């Protein structure tokens, strides 16, 4: 068969495959055949159209947003002391690189004119979104003299089908969903030891905790839960949790056990002359401990009685201690709640400051998004406020000044039942008292 005929047949098959993708993709998924999202439609049709729109409008976009500069000066001296000022002629837009396609859009590199800073490009991102009719534009400046324009053509988070997701590689790492760049959303507790998850009711906080547990469950990591909503959410993970506190009195005893364990780990490090458990030889290193809290506010609510005030006060102090000293001792805190303001109790704002990883789901009011992300990035607050009721599981994730939109993975009841049957690591605690407290703290293995 002549080679040209083979090429024609293959091209025709490819074209038919692309055009009928919407038909065959769900049918394969129904039969349990893993479907990788091939963005062919985007590469063959969307990408050239989007690139054409960007190049045809770039001159106007750059001019209207103050990104163009004129080679001719806008001021001129005539004679000895007459300064003529006027509109510079033929402003030149900055040079755009070839658009590199990505799974969800494309990326362009811009070389700044001498004297320009990335600031006006950051400010123009919104104008670019409208000019190019795309879902989102994010501008970064990873190298001096250059900016990168990341264009996301369509919102990849609208589809809530569980993407084929390889588990994260490495201790204390979990793939809990996907980001809008098409990358896995990874929570790495060694890099960012403590996390705060907020959102209105039914926005997806507990589902995110479940996705985290799903990936941590097969790892040699001890998980303990505090779920003062009667253990309805974290109780699903049954014996995989080394302990579960389902009311505040149990939470106090469990947190006392965690603090005891922290002190014991400190003693071990001190005697070995190390500053963190990660410096200990692997066989002597204690098992990492992750404390999951579902609905923080329940720990701080009081009915006005002396006892409830004391318990709330104690919970606040203990959580703060865990957050302040736990990281180097492989004790991690993941806290979920609807609000994290000073209005729910004392020391909540101090606790919030210790939780470096932030996840904000849809919120009822601006203040809640502001509490979670305001000290990280004002743009992230706006992005979180734009999450709608239908976008359950969609959140803005921020760490160390950087942020991205992401959607958690929905964990099914069958997967939760599988987790519940997984055995926790044997003897994860150095202190007998911690183990006993965990047993007395609530439902324990």
Ligand X SMILES: Nc1ncnc2c1ncn2[C@@H]1O[C@H](COP(=O)(O)OP(=O)(O)OP(=O)(O)O)[C@@H](O)[C@H]1O
Interacting residues toward ligand X by CB under 6 A: 160, 199, 201-207, 392-393, 407-408, 410
- Our CB check for ligand X shows the closer of 250 and 338 to be 338
Residue nearer to ligand X on the CB measure, 178 or 265: 178
Which among 391, 342, 393, 345 has a CA at the least distance from the CA of 370?
342
Q: Minimum distance from CB of 309 to ligand X (Å)?
A: 24
**Of the two residues 199 and 345, which places its CB atom closer to ligand X in the complex?**
199
In whole angstroms, give the CA distance from residue 154 to residue 146: 25
Shortest spacing between CB 323 and ligand X, in angstroms: 21
Nearer to ligand X, 325 or 410 (CB): 410
Smallest separation (angstroms) from ligand X to the CB of 422? 21
Instruction: Report, in Å, the least distance between residue 157 CB and ligand X.
Output: 9
Q: How far apart are CA 140 and CA 148, in angstroms?
A: 5
DSSP character for 390?
A: T
Count the residues in the chain.
445
User: Would you say 240 or 407 has its CB closer to ligand X?
Assistant: 407
Q: Considering the complex, what minimum distance in angstroms separates the CB of residue 387 from ligand X?
A: 12
160 versus 399: smaller Cβ distance to ligand X: 160
CB of 351 to ligand X, least distance (A): 19
Structural contact between residues 203 and 408, judged by C-beta atoms closer than 8 angstroms: no
Residue nearest to ligand X (CB): 393
Please, which residue, 229 or 439, has the CB nearer to ligand X? 229
CB of 354 to ligand X, least distance (A): 22
Dist. CA 341–CA 348, nearest whole Å: 6
Nearest alpha-carbon partner for 367 in 341, 387, 390, 348: 341
Closer residue to ligand X in complex, CB, 138/339: 339
Q: How many whole angstroms separate alpha carbon 258 and alpha carbon 317?
A: 13
- CA separation, residue 152 to residues 148, 155, 378, 404, 443 (Å): 13, 7, 20, 12, 46
The answer to whether 407 touches 397, Cβ cutoff 8 Å, is no
Q: Is the Cβ of residue 207 or residue 242 nearer to ligand X in the bound state?
A: 207
CB of 341 to ligand X, least distance (A): 16
Q: For residues 262 and 251, give the distance between their C-alpha atoms in angstroms, rounded to a whole number.
A: 16
Q: CA-to-CA distance for 214 and 175, rounded, in angstroms?
A: 9
> What contacts 58, CB < 8 A, 6 or more positions away?
93, 96
Torsion of CA 299, 303, 304, 309, to 10 degrees: -20
Nearest distance from C-beta of residue 410 to ligand X, angstroms: 4
Whole-number Å distance between alpha carbons of 32 and 169: 25
Closest to 376 measured CA to CA, from 351, 346, 396: 396
Contact between 227 and 234 (Cβ < 8 Å): yes
CA-wise closest residue to 213 among 222, 200, 201, 204? 222
């Amino acid at each position: 068969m002549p080679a040209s005929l083979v090429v024609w047949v293959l091209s025709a098959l490819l074209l038919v495959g692309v055009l009928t993708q919407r038909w065959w993709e769900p049918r394969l998924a129904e039969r349990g055949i893993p479907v990788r999202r091939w963005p062919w439609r985007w590469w063959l049709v969307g990408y050239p159209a989007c690139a054409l729109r960007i190049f045809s409008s770039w001159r106007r976009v750059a001019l209207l947003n103050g990104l163009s500069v004129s080679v001719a000066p806008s001021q001129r001296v005539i004679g000895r002391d007459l300064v003529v000022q006027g509109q510079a002629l033929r402003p030149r837009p900055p040079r755009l690189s070839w658009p590199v396609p990505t799974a969800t859009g494309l990326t362009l590199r811009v070389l700044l004119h001498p004297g320009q800073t990335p600031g006006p490009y950051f400010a123009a991102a919104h104008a670019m979104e409208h000019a190019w009719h795309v879902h989102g534009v994010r501008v970064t400046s990873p190298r001096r003299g250059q900016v990168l324009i990341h264009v996301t053509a369509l919102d990849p988070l609208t589809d809530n089908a569980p993407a084929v997701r390889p588990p994260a590689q490495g201790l204390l790492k979990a793939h809990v969903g996907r980001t809008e760049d098409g990358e896995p959303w990874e929570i790495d507790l060694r890099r960012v030891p403590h996390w705060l998850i907020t959102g209105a009711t039914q926005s997806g906080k507990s589902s995110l905790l479940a996705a985290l547990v799903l990936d941590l469950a097969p790892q040699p990591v001890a998980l303990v839960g505090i779920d003062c909503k009667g253990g309805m959410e974290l109780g699903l993970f049954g014996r995989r949790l080394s302990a579960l506190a389902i009311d505040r009195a149990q939470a106090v005893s469990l947190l006392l056990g965690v603090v005891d364990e922290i002190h014991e780990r400190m003693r071990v490090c001190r005697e070995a002359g190390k500053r963190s458990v990660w410096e200990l030889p692997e066989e002597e290193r204690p098992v990492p401990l992750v404390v999951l809290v579902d609905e923080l506010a329940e720990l701080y609510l009081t009915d006005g009685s002396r006892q409830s005030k004391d318990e709330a006060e104690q919970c606040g102090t203990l959580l703060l201690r865990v957050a302040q000293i736990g990281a180097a001792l492989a004790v991690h805190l993941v806290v979920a709640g609807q609000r994290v303001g000073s209005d729910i109790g004392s020391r909540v704002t101090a606790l919030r400051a210790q939780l470096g990883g932030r996840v904000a789901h849809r919120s009822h009011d601006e203040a809640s998004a502001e509490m979670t992300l305001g000290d990280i990035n004002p743009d992230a607050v706006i992005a979180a406020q734009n999450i709608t009721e239908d976008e359950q599981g969609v959140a803005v994730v921020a760490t160390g000044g950087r942020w991205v939109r992401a959607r958690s993975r929905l964990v099914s009841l069958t997967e939760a039942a599988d987790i519940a049957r997984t055995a926790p690591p044997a003897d994860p605690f150095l202190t007998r008292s911690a183990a006993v407290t965990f047993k007395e703290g609530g439902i324990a293995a």
